[in-house]
Amino acid sequence: MMPDPDGHRCLVMAEIAQAHDGSLGTAHAFIDAVADAGADGVKFQTHIARAESTRQEPWRVKFSYQDATRYDYWRRMEFTEDQWRGLKRHAEERGLFFLSSPFSIEAVDLLSRVGVAAWKIASGEVSSADLFERIAETRLPVLLSTGMSAMAEIDAAVARIRGAGLPLTVFQCTTLYPTPPEKIGLNLLSLFRDRYGCAVGLSDHSGTIFPSLAAAALGAAIVEVHATFSRKMFGPDVPASVTISELAQLVEGVRFTEKMRVHPLEKDRIAAELAPVRALFTKSLALRADLPAGTILQRSHLAAKKPGSGISPERIDEIVGQRLLRDVSAEDLLRVDDVGPVDDRGDG
């Protein structure tokens, strides 16, 4: 899975992370919901407690009622290899690309056997050289998150990935849950694109669809949002997630944005196309009140009224001083053959 090389399509990825709360059934339910919403891909996280953590790991947010330590929580989030294979198979059956971020070499090895479309490197793993080395052996594309990294660290990670010859997408991300609008960092999309000469994406934690829509309009190749069934669900990521109905709205908005971006408009051409409609919105010269034949028209007699299928108001100076050749109602547009020079008495 890699972004559209022409930059015309923006992929929408739903991040499930730990929203399943260790339930395999809930994880499968998320796959169906994400597919029904029209997303392109689904992403999980593969945690193997003994490979990545210790009992001394602190909680980011102490949210769990049943896990004494963060380590216990990671253990409860684990799926077996066969269960991961089932999730991947289900995702592909629903037309989704399947991703899961690894947090240890063991997780990379497991996911390599299961099969992933690309590697999404989580923000906390940007400086994990051993993880990169194992990933490089797979030759799969890399999606690099930058949620907690300074530019020097991102430069080093990009150089490492480029040195391995792997296709790369760099994601702007801010590791705040939820992320306020002033810290989304849309400006960094163009900075990363220019600095690294690669596709860019947005991994958003705002809990809204707005940053992703803006990123799609700015040419992001991928937008990623956390998904939840309800904001009343359990879990630390819920405040930073969008609901499934909001995800569907995001997909609709991104597709709409794509069509706007790939169809640049020429004003003269669209004006010509809209000529028949123009008459409905523009105005023509008409009288302010019914006037009899013989009236010498003054500016005070004339008004601009719809539709625009008669004499243009721009010609008012030509009409002022001419004489009505017949009785004209204020309810009708003034026609060219309704007026004539003062010395032209017409037939009336």
Residue 163 has pLDDT above 90, yes or no: yes
**pLDDT tier, 344 (very low <50, low <70, confident <90, very high otherwise):** low
| Percent of the chain at pLDDT exceeding 70 | 97
Per DSSP bridges, beta strands 323-324 and 339-340 are antiparallel
Instruction: Say how many domains are in the chain.
Output: 2
Question: How far is residue 10's CA from residue 4's CA, in Å, rounded to a whole number?
Answer: 7
pTM comes to: 0.86
248 in the same domain as 301? no
Question: How far is residue 139's CA from residue 63's CA, in Å, rounded to a whole number?
Answer: 38
Inter-helix orientation angle 244-261/210-217, to 10°: 20
Question: pLDDT tens, 21-34?
Answer: 999 999 999 999 99
What confidence score (pLDDT) does residue 104 get? Answer: 94
Q: Which residues contact 287 (CB under 8 A, 6 or more apart)?
A: 301, 302, 303, 328, 329, 330, 334
The range of the structural domain enclosing residue 238 comes to 11-261
Q: Which of 261, 287, 318 is the last residue of a domain?
A: 261
330 in the same domain as 247? no
Residue 5 maps to a domain: no
Question: How far is residue 130's CA from residue 121's CA, in Å, rounded to a whole number?
Answer: 13
Question: How far is residue 35's CA from residue 202's CA, in Å, rounded to a whole number?
Answer: 20
Q: Which of 3-12, 15-24, 53-62 has the lowest mean pLDDT?
A: 3-12
Q: Work out the average pLDDT over 128-137.
A: 93
198 in the same domain as 336? no
For position 250, which CATH number holds? 3.20.20.70
Residue 1 maps to a domain: no
140 in the same domain as 23? yes
Quick one: which of 193, 226, 231, 233 has its CA closest to 211? 226
142 in the same domain as 44? yes
For position 308, which CATH number holds? 3.90.1210.10
Q: Which of 261, 290, 324 is the last residue of a domain?
A: 261
295 in the same domain as 229? no
Question: Quick one: how far is CA 258 from the chain centroid?
Answer: 9
329 in the same domain as 180? no
312 in the same domain as 164? no
Residue 304 β-bridge partners: 285
Residue 133 has pLDDT above 60, yes or no: yes
Question: pLDDT tens, 200-234?
Answer: 999 999 999 999 999 999 999 999 999 999 999 98
Residue 6 maps to a domain: no
CB 72 within 8 A of CB 65: no
54: tokens are 């210790």
DSSP string of 89-143, one letter each residue: HHHHHTT-EEEEEESSHHHHHHHHHH--SSEEE-GGGTT-HHHHHHHHTTT--EE
Residue 268 maps to a domain: no
Residue 202 maps to a domain: yes
Residue 200 maps to a domain: yes
Q: Round the average pLDDT of the chain to a whole number and report it.
A: 93
Instruction: Please count the other Cβ atoms lying within 10 Å of the Cβ belonging to residue 210.
Output: 14
Give SS3 for 178: coil
40 in the same domain as 141? yes
Torsion of CA 156, 162, 163, 167, to 10 degrees: 140
